[in-house]
Amino acid sequence: MNTFTHRTSALLLTGLALCAAGCQDTTTPNEHAEPTSASSSPTSSPSPSSDPKPTGLGTVHQDPGYSKDLDRAEGPLTVKSGERFSIAMRQNISARADWSLAEPGPSAAVLRKVGESSYQTAREKELVGGGHTKYFTFEALKAGETRIVLANSFGTDKSAGGYSPDLPRTVTYRVTVR
């Protein structure tokens, strides 16, 4: 490796490390959540320079975060039939974390996916390569058990360009609806 390539690589790694250190989320699990009612909406319009926080998230379950486990299980999450809930994942493409719902999804008889949304704090917007929180929102339909599997495309997809065998690949949430 020539000197220029070595210095460029070192500079890139230093930048990623600094970004990762500055992109840590220090909020409490429900700080991103607006009212838990599905029909709620913001009372005022957001300023043009800020993204509105997602609404209609229901109970927010914050993922515990990075683990050295390539595939890990969380939960069980216990929810009531008819309840809306979200799983909040830290997402940062520059830190090689890009979460999506894996196929097959949760049992359609037990849960319904309502949608996905994201929120980025003002500080995260200022940072080059700043991350955000991605919310996966579901509605519990009837009593039963199912799994929600979230996959990191960088950890699982060798064609993603940032693949590394050491990155987390999946997080599986066991969900019980009562």
- Give the model's pLDDT for residue 104: 92
Tens-place pLDDT, residues 131-145: 999 999 999 999 999
Band (pLDDT 50/70/90 cuts) for residue 156 is: low
Band (pLDDT 50/70/90 cuts) for residue 129 is: confident
CB 110 within 8 A of CB 139: no
Tens-place pLDDT, residues 158-168: 776 677 777 78
Q: How many beta carbons lie within 10 A of that of residue 65, not counting itself? A: 11
Which structure tokens are listed for 170?
A: 């999946």
**Which of helix, strand or coil describes residue 127?**
coil
> What is this structure's pTM?
0.68
Q: How many CA atoms lie within 13 A of 165 on its CB side?
A: 0
Tens-place pLDDT, residues 89-118: 999 877 788 899 999 999 999 999 999 999
The length of the chain, given as a count of residues = 178
CB 90 within 8 A of CB 155: no
